[in-house]
Amino acid sequence: MASTVTQANNKLIVFRKQIFREYVRENLFSPYMGTDINSIIRVIPDLDKGGKNGGEQINVPLMARLQAQAVASGPMVGNEEALDNYGMRLWIDWARNAVVINNAEEQRSSVDIFAEAKPMLVDWGKELQRDEICDAFYALPAQSSPAGLGTANGQRVNGLLFDAATAAQRNTWITDNADRIQIGHSNSANLSAGNFATSMANITTGTDNISGAILMAMKRRAKKANPRLRPFRLKENGTEWFVLFVGQEQFRDLANDTDIKTANQNSRSREQQGYLKNPIFVDGDLLYNGIIIREIPELSLRLPVTYQTMGASGIQIAPAFMCGQQAQAWCWGKMPTPTFRKEDDYQFLRGAGLKMAYGIGKLAKLTAANNFKEWGVFTGFFPAIPDA
């Protein structure tokens, strides 16, 4: 008996019309971005020419608190205190992308590829913005325009990109910001004054791993930093809150820390489905003694190459960013706007794009002592050992 065999060309092939797109993580910085003065990432729309002034740079005025000794019965005239003020300049640049398809490829396709252009471009724009916030945290603030501004690829991240900074520039940064950094478990043990590379090379795995105790040391130092860091939030009882942004490896170490684990396990509500907000049971922020600990996976993915072998015996280390208000400024020049291709080769081509203009950077102030200090960030440096 001869059994019939279906010839290859007659075999059924089902092509789904729905396209599965690669996952793009939301911007986990978003809850801390806004136009309010108390935002960690302050959004400034003043350069958007559609509603404001236009221009390619903006001056952000910063003013330190008054610190002079009080005058009692002596003369006030001639003893006035000068207002310590500084203007931080930020530059914007363009970011564009587009896709194009011709009629022949549309005819061949079993799905409507062009219909995916808009959502894919929107995802691309969100991902770029999120990633460049990470790059801005890693960058060293600068008083000049960023390298690459106005070139073919542009540069929206203000300051000196960390991998591009020289040893001298890193040394200047660690000197200027000595009161707002934490090197491993102890500055007295690990900080080599004025030498960034040597300080980082003193960080060892184990002793210097980030922990609840070290977070408390960071917070105490942050409260004493001068100029003062304005807390992200002040509770009614005077409690000061900061937000710590960390990558995956350091979030893992903090989640496994006994003190932090116990605090989140025993002190957070389980009633009325409160367990759904407890990171012991679900993914989410850790809370510890007035610090919101937020994992930003892209901080690990975009870790500058230099940090990957900078610790003792070549271990990977990474910064952790404890932020108060006005840590960064995000300046819009042009909000994301859809664009369309006009050169269509007699209606044979279809193209869609996205354009926007912005600048992002950490705020910093030049002090009377000529130190260029970060305004709203306290930075800790700790091991960030990848999972085996």
Please tell me the distance from the alpha carbon of residue 44 to that of residue 64, in angstroms, as a whole number.
20
Contact between 242 and 325 under an 8 Å Cβ cutoff? The reply is no
Continuous segment of H or E residues that includes residue 301: helix 297-301
Sequence spans of domains, the chain: 26-63+82-383
What residues are paired with 373 via a beta bridge?
365
What pTM was computed for the model?
0.91
pLDDT 10s digits, 150-171: 999 999 999 999 999 999 999 9
Please tell me the distance from the alpha carbon of residue 254 to that of residue 248, in angstroms, as a whole number.
10
Per-residue confidence (pLDDT) for residue 321, from 0 to 100: 98
- Tell me the DSSP string of 18-30: SPPPPP----TTG
Per-residue confidence (pLDDT) for residue 2, from 0 to 100: 85
**3-state secondary structure (DSSP) of residue 155:** coil
Please tell me the distance from the alpha carbon of residue 131 to that of residue 42, in angstroms, as a whole number.
17
- What is the DSSP pairing of strand 377-383 with strand 181-183? parallel
Q: Which residue has the tokens 């959502």?
A: 119
Sign of CA dihedral 280, 281, 284, 287: negative
Q: Is the peptide bond before 227 cis (omega within 30 degrees of 0)?
A: yes
Residue 66 gets which letter from DSSP? P
Please tell me the distance from the alpha carbon of residue 166 to that of residue 172, in angstroms, as a whole number.
10
Per-residue confidence (pLDDT) for residue 9, from 0 to 100: 84
Contact between 148 and 91 under an 8 Å Cβ cutoff? The reply is no
Radius of gyration of the chain (CA): 26
Per-residue confidence (pLDDT) for residue 53, from 0 to 100: 66
The parts of the chain modelled with pLDDT lower than 50 are none
End-to-end C-alpha distance for the chain, whole angstroms: 58
Q: How far is CA 378 from CA 28, 183, 268, 286, 295, in A?
A: 19, 11, 27, 18, 17
